[in-house]
Amino acid sequence: MKAVIQRVSKASVTIKNKKVADIQQGLLILLGIEDLDTMEDINWLSKKIVNLRIFNDENNIMNNSLLEIQGDAIVVSQFTLHASTKKGNRPSYIKASKPESAIPMYEKFITQIENVLGKKVETGEFGADMKVELLNDGPVTIIIDSKDKK
C-alpha cells in the first residue's frame, strides 16, 4: 500500500463540476492499493500517517501530528501510484489492485483513519474522474510504502 501525503492549508475534490470533499488545514492522502496489501498494511499506514509529526509547533518546527492539531484529511484513491515505468513509455498498472479487491481495502483504510483520528474523513470517489485542488503547505509531500515498514 502506497500513500503520497501532502500537508495542506486547504484541499478539495470535484467530480462532474460538483465539490464532493473540502477541507482546511490537514492532509491530502493519495492512496494506491495492490493485491498483496492486507489489514496489517491498513493498520500500520493509517497510524503512521495520523501520527507523522509534520505540522509546525509554536517554535515553527515540524513537531506536531495531524492528530495533535486536530486537522482534517481527504483520502483519494490513486491506482497510478503503482505504475511501473521500467519498459517503454506507457506505464504498466499490473501491480494495482482491481476495483473488486481495492474498493473494500480503500473503504477499510478510510474507516481506520477515522477511528484513529476520531473524526470524519473526506473522500473522493473510487474510480471517478476527479479534479483535486490543494494549497500545499510548505511544501511538504511525503511518500510512504507499507512494504518498507520492516
Active site residues: 80
Start-to-end C-alpha separation, the chain: 14
Which segments of 4-98 does DSSP mark as H helices, in order? 39-51, 66-69
Distance (Å, rounded) from C-alpha 144 to C-alpha 31? 10
Distance (Å, rounded) from C-alpha 99 to C-alpha 79? 10
Distance (Å, rounded) from C-alpha 35 to C-alpha 120? 27
